Amino acid sequence: MYQKWQYWNTASRKWLWILVAVGLLASIPVIADRMKTETSSKKVEIVFDYRDLTEAASYQAHPQDYLNEQLDRLQQAGVNSMAMYESTLDDFRKAGRVVTYTTQNVADMEKRLSPANENFTYIVFADKENAEALKPLILRTFTSLDINVKPWTYQGQEGLVVETSPEDAYLKPMQPDPIAMKQLRSKGFFIVPRMSDSLPYNQELTEEMLASFQQNGVKRILFEGDSVKGFTDNEKEHSLAAFAKLLNKYDIGLAAIENLKKPQAGFNKLAYDIHYNVVRLYSLSDKDSTLDVETLADRFALATKDRNIRMLYLNTAPSRSIAEAKVKDSVDNLIHSLDKPGNAVQRMEKKGFELGQAEPFQVVDSSIQRYLKMIVLLGALAFFSIMVSYFVPALTLLAFALGLVGSAGLYVLNSSLMEQGLALLAAISGPTVAMIIAVRTIRIKREQGAELSVGQRLIQTFILYVQTAILSLAAVPFVIALLNSIAYSLVLNQFRGVSLLHILPIFLAAIYIFFYRGVSIREEISKLLRTPITVLWVIALAVIAAAGYYYLTRTGNAGTVSNTELVFRNFLENAFGVRPRNKEFLMAHPLFIAGAFLALKYRKAIYLLIIAAIGQASMVDTFAHIHSPAALSLSRGLLGLGLGLVLGIIAIVVWQVLEGCWKKWSPQLKR
């Protein structure tokens, strides 16, 4: 019975490979849909924080002149939008649109005693224009909060009395300053309002606000704070759904801020309800706005090209310079990064982008995509089962069967989790199977007995290099097809468990190389356990542990790089138009070439392939960043393979020279 089971497990590998091939074919239309989606939006919107600009202007001798001058300069450099926050009474006061008084101030001005039980806010409008624009706004805001407002005049100037303390009145947010908005629109800027969730949700006021936004050409809003508008009241009022209906009615979308420490609460729900009318936004902090011009230009250009960013948000802040004895800001620096000499806008335009109001991706979703994904799912499970078969052949069919049952269960509970799980299994299986087949091929070639010439070893190494890369990249179509959703592209849904992709293929390749040598696994483990531990072993393990820690800290979005490496990255970007991963073409791929070449002659050189597995896993991991265009990820991988091949051949030439020198001179050294 056991022998029959073993036979069926061994025979099933052939059919599993067929399933993998069918899955790859089924993924092609899905990949085509994703690539059409990724090329459907090419407009880039550069947004400047208007509040930051007005604050910087307030430190100048002539604030209004400075503000107008910088607005014109920013527009010429490529900034086409201004972000406007919800205004407060205090903002209107600072802008000179109103003058506010306390009850005590009014009593003093009228030379009478102040009422003992009154602490109201008295408002006088600066002129008729301000009164016409702001009075309705102030009335609606405070009356909606059940705060009484009544008319008041002072020296013939129209005003209001708000029956709450100035400290409280100053905190209540209203619509963005309509007068400033009108002025910015007259200069040709688009408006990106920033909305908060600080007040109870009011559908009537919100609709009035969105109608005003639509009249002013607003196409996208940005949220301020930790939650979206309406989130706090959603449990009782279902305010998110109500807000989404208004956004759809007025054709206004959202901007998703990249790399927030914590997603804004309610954003995903709102994005789903507005059919993902969302674009990704890169926010440059006021601190980073002082970086050198070239660094900023690189950031802007790479954000649009590499990460599907369609909105760039610029901040500035005034700072005191003791060295120059004046107050400075970073507006000049930002202008130079966008225009000359940084030329960020020009670089973006060369890549096919154009300045304008950011547009969402037009999702291409073929009607047969759901059925194709089912076939891709089977192919991913087959790939995983093949990987299992190389380690425990008796579990091949069981792994496939359990995978089917588990996938069905996960689909019922959480279909997104099922897709991610299968994509991860395929992503791990591809590089692992590729490395195992490479190791087996090398052992078979070496055990055939005949010693290969240098030329033959070089040809075999090249064939093996291409074959291994193709097998590793065979996992990519499964990842793309299974995770083909706009929610992943917008990073509203994360591909979790990618850390395992960084580790498991390398670990499994090491296990195979150490313990699967054509003899009993038990014997290999026993031999390892009986091996004496020397100081050299301890040092080697410490070095491996340190290298592993460094590898993990450098992997993913949290990794940091030195200034020297940043310069090198920028050089690669400028030289090739796309930057391959350093760990691939500088280390892993050359080590694969050198390791395979040496292992065809020297048995212990096979251990170099453990480190080389990093490159195979890294190629697949590049495609796990769903927010990066698939075509760009492919370019990065192929360029890394090409450069790695060149460096690997150089390493072989160096080895051959050193080996020749050793053969020639070592007898003399021994004498």
Residues 6 or more apart whose CB falls under 8 angstroms from that of 284 comprise: 296, 299, 312, 313, 314, 315, 334
Q: How confident is the model at residue 559 (pLDDT cuts 50, 70, 90)?
A: very low
Say yes or no to pLDDT of 268 above 50: yes
CA neighbours within 13 Å on the CB side: how many for 363? 15
Q: What pLDDT is stored for residue 476 in this prediction?
A: 96
Q: How confident is the model at residue 566 (pLDDT cuts 50, 70, 90)?
A: low
Q: Which of 316-320, 391-395, 432-436 is predicted least confidently?
A: 316-320
Q: What is the mean pLDDT of residues 363-392?
A: 92
Say yes or no to pLDDT of 205 above 70: yes
Say yes or no to pLDDT of 560 above 60: no
Q: What is the mean pLDDT of residues 249-262?
A: 92
Q: What is the mean pLDDT of residues 145-153?
A: 91
Residue predicted with more confidence, 65 or 94? 65
Q: Which of 154-163, 188-197, 345-354, 490-499 is predicted least confidently?
A: 490-499
Q: What pLDDT is stored for residue 528 in this prediction?
A: 63
Report d(CA 422, CA 373) in Å as an integer.
11
Specify whether the CB–CB gap between 142 and 160 falls below 8 A: no
Residues 6 or more apart whose CB falls under 8 angstroms from that of 32 comprise: none
Containing 282, the helix (H) or strand (E) segment is strand 278-284
Q: What is the mean pLDDT of residues 587-594?
A: 93
Say yes or no to pLDDT of 550 above 60: no
Q: How confident is the model at residue 520 (pLDDT cuts 50, 70, 90)?
A: low
- State pLDDT tens for residues 223-237: 998 999 999 999 988
Q: Which of 6-10, 441-445, 481-485 is predicted least confidently?
A: 6-10
Report d(CA 8, CA 372) in Å as an integer.
28
Q: Which of 205-209, 273-277, 405-409, 541-545 is predicted least confidently?
A: 541-545
What the block records as the tokens of 400 is: 């496939």
Q: What pLDDT is stored for residue 260 in this prediction?
A: 87
Question: Which of these, 154, 173, 152, lies nearest to 163 by C-alpha position?
Answer: 152
Q: What pLDDT is stored for residue 282 in this prediction?
A: 96
Say yes or no to pLDDT of 15 above 80: yes
Say yes or no to pLDDT of 56 above 80: yes
Residue predicted with more confidence, 504 or 323? 504
Say yes or no to pLDDT of 143 above 80: yes
Q: What pLDDT is stored for residue 110 in this prediction?
A: 78
Q: What is the mean pLDDT of residues 5-20?
A: 84
Report d(CA 513, CA 391) in Å as an integer.
11
Q: What is the mean pLDDT of residues 254-271?
A: 92
Q: By CB neighbour count within 10 A (0-12 exposed, 13-18 middle, 19+ buried), where does 580 fall?
A: buried
Q: Which of 160-164, 344-348, 382-386, 580-584 is predicted least confidently?
A: 580-584
Q: What is the mean pLDDT of the chain?
A: 88
Q: Is 216 helix (H, G, I), strand (E, B) or coil?
A: coil
How far lies 219's CA from each of 30, 297, 380, 511, in Å? 30, 26, 40, 55
Q: What pLDDT is stored for residue 342 in this prediction?
A: 86
Q: What pLDDT is stored for residue 213 in this prediction?
A: 94
Q: What is the mean pLDDT of residues 364-392?
A: 92
Q: Which amino acid is at 585?
A: F
Kindly report the backbone phi and psi dihedral angles of residue 99, in degrees, each rounded to the nearest multiple of 5, phi listed first: -120, 135
- Do strands 81-85 and 190-195 pair parallel, antiparallel, or not at all (unpaired)? parallel
Residue predicted with more confidence, 8 or 151? 151
Question: Which of these, 565, 560, 595, 567, lies nearest to 582 by C-alpha position?
Answer: 565
Say yes or no to pLDDT of 549 above 70: no
- Do strands 121-125 and 98-102 pair parallel, antiparallel, or not at all (unpaired)? antiparallel
Q: How confident is the model at residue 558 (pLDDT cuts 50, 70, 90)?
A: very low
Q: What is the mean pLDDT of residues 587-600?
A: 92
Specify whether the CB–CB gap between 147 and 163 falls below 8 A: yes
